Amino acid sequence: MNKLYLVIGASGRLGRSLMSLLGEQALGVGMSNTSPTLDITDWQAVRRLLEEVRPQVVIHAAAWTDVDGCARDPQRARLINGIGTQHVAAASARVGAELVYISTNEVFDGQAQQPYGEYAPCAPINPYGYSKWLGEQGVRAVQPRHYIVRTAWLFAHGGKNFIQAILGAAQAGKPLRVVIDEIANPTYNDDLAAAILRLIPTGRYGTFHLVNEGAVSRYGFARYVLDQVGHNQTPITPISRQEWPRPSTPPPYAALENAAAASLGVTLRPWQQAVNAFLHAEGLLRDEETA
């Protein structure tokens, strides 16, 4: 018998990919701009929905991911990403469902010299990272049957992301200035969705880092993308994080190591291959190779 999945955040890019892969096995709800909707900050609404649907697996992919917005309104960030996640965790435990919670590399302070393992100490340095860390704590406190999945630097089809911003600026002839001292793992949304669905059947609960393999700076990421689409001659000026002021302070080095999921056979391809696959799907890859 197939499991019934409830995807919270089905209107988001990761949620849409999960819904597409799951097909008729999934029911999706969003926080806004979709039907049906769910206010995860309303405990009674979350409890009622879970008791009505009775899913076997809840994938909580909903969050306030506007990092700079979270810095401007940290109380709202804590309410949605922290307390809202606790509501989902408690309700899923009440109905006996497994829970997948999508977290972030920004729960770390970025002071490491090598990729963070799953059980490295968390020390978020911005309100977004802190709110997601609160969500992790809420999950661990009330829901033993959990998969906490941290990821980094997601890029997806549709909407806005780093790749599209870089290409848009290059095509418009705008000068490019990109930070060189912020490092993490570029991760393809579609690869993450597939990896999550490979992880769940293992039944091995815990904390996992699901990212495309390898790490790079924002500058190196931008340079690779431009070279792949034929903008080899487009210059990029490398700048420091201090030269790009913003409300939120991202961790300077927040690369993640996939050790736990890899031990179960769940891995993601190198980030360069993932970027090529994304560009190929968008019709932008210069030589139309995805390897």
State mean pLDDT over 96-108: 98
Give the highest mean pLDDT range of 200-204, 243-247, 280-284: 200-204
State mean pLDDT over 84-99: 98
State mean pLDDT over 72-86: 97
pLDDT at 33 over 70: no
* Among 57-66, 91-100, 156-165, the least confident range: 156-165
pLDDT at 192 over 70: yes
pLDDT score at 32: 52
Q: Give dist(CA 7, CA 19) in Å, integer.
A: 7
Q: Domains along the chain? A: 5-153+188-212+249-269 (3.40.50.720)
Q: Give dist(CA 248, CA 250) in Å, integer.
A: 6
pLDDT score at 291: 44
% of the chain with per-residue pLDDT over 90: 85
State mean pLDDT over 144-172: 93
pLDDT score at 287: 65
pTM summary value: 0.93
pLDDT score at 2: 82
List Cβ neighbours of 66 (8 Å cut-off, separation of 6 or more): 128
In contact, 89 and 142? CB cutoff 8 Å: yes
DSSP 270: B
- Band of pLDDT at residue 67, cut at 50, 70 and 90: very high
pLDDT at 290 over 50: no
pLDDT score at 166: 94
Active-site residue (options: 5, 116, 128, 130): 128
Beta strands in 14-142 (DSSP E): 26-29, 57-60, 98-104
pLDDT at 273 over 50: yes
pLDDT at 88 over 50: yes
Q: Give dist(CA 258, CA 23) in Å, integer.
A: 28
Q: Give dist(CA 129, CA 152) in Å, integer.
A: 12
**Catalytic status, residue 128:** yes
pLDDT score at 31: 54
36 upstream amide cis, omega within 30 of 0: yes
State mean pLDDT over 281-285: 89
Where residue 159 falls (left for φ over 0; alpha for ψ -120 to 50; beta otherwise) is left
State mean pLDDT over 221-250: 92
In contact, 232 and 173? CB cutoff 8 Å: no
